[in-house]
């Protein structure tokens, strides 16, 4: 589920009436009967429903299964002049990476990225990167192989563009720009992230 979809669902639920209870029977989210006088009632607070829904959605541990990258989601929000959505998309993408069970990357990890065909000349191709220990205590990710023909007009400047040297988080740029849905990450011979699998 995408975070924007979750936000719509949460907003709809929060706007629904509270069934057969009157507003007076609800005190700050608790039934009035909950309070027996031994403990103080919570202090009142107020927030617009859409803002409350946005805060709840931002805390949901959603897996990132969108059809585009976090950066593309942020760009869509930016075009809509939705600053909250733009920041939310970037934060959601970052959180999806840093809360993954296999995170952080380790030396020996293989990272494959698949690019779909698009446009007139752009054809589908893949790249495989190897993560290794860097010289200064961080991690390096270098290109092992790719499937784009060497004479292809897009080969230069496109292939290997996500390679990094001595980076504390070598997957961050690839994850945010290409998108987790395009990545397959293998550790010790076993896939730990298969973004293309729904």
Domain ranges of the chain: 3-98, 110-194
Q: Residue 27: helix, strand or coil by DSSP?
A: strand
CB atoms within 10 A of CB 53: 21
The vertex-114 CA angle with 144 and 7, nearest 5°, equals 130
pLDDT tens by residue, the chain, 198 residues? 455 666 666 766 666 655 555 444 444 455 555 556 666 665 555 667 666 666 666 655 444 445 678 888 888 888 888 888 888 888 988 998 899 889 999 999 999 998 877 654 567 888 999 999 988 889 999 999 888 877 776 667 678 889 999 899 999 999 999 889 889 999 999 999 987 644
* pLDDT computed for residue 1 by the predictor: 46
Q: Residue 135: helix, strand or coil by DSSP?
A: coil
For the sheet with 190-194, list strands across it. Answer: 164-167, 139-146, 125-133, 110-115, 183-187, 190-194
Enter the tokens of residue 115.
Answer: 């690019």
* pLDDT computed for residue 69 by the predictor: 82
* pLDDT computed for residue 120 by the predictor: 46
pTM: 0.61
CB atoms within 10 A of CB 74: 21
d(CA 176, CA 94): 7
CB atoms within 10 A of CB 119: 7
d(CA 3, CA 50): 14
């Amino acid at each position: 589920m995408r975070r924007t979809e979750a936000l719509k669902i949460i907003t709809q639920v929060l706007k629904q009436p509270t069934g057969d209870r009157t507003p007076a029977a609800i005190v700050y989210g608790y039934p009035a009967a909950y309070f027996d006088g031994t403990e103080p009632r919570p202090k009142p607070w107020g927030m617009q429903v859409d803002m409350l829904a946005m805060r709840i959605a931002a805390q949901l541990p959603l897996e990132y299964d969108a059809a585009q990258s976090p950066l593309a989601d942020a760009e869509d929000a930016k075009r809509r002049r939705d600053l909250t959505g733009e920041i939310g998309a970037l934060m959601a993408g970052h959180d999806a990476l840093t809360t993954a069970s296999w995170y952080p990357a380790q030396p020996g990890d293989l990272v494959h990225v698949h690019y779909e065909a698009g446009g007139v000349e752009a054809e589908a191709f893949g790249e495989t990167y190897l993560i290794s220990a860097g010289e200064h205590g961080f991690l390096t990710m270098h290109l092992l192989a790719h499937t784009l023909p060497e004479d292809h007009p897009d080969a230069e400047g496109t292939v290997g563009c996500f390679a990094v040297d001595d980076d504390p988080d070598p997957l961050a740029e690839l994850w945010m720009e290409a998108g987790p849905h395009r990545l397959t990450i293998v550790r010790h011979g076993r896939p730990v992230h298969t973004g293309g699998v729904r």
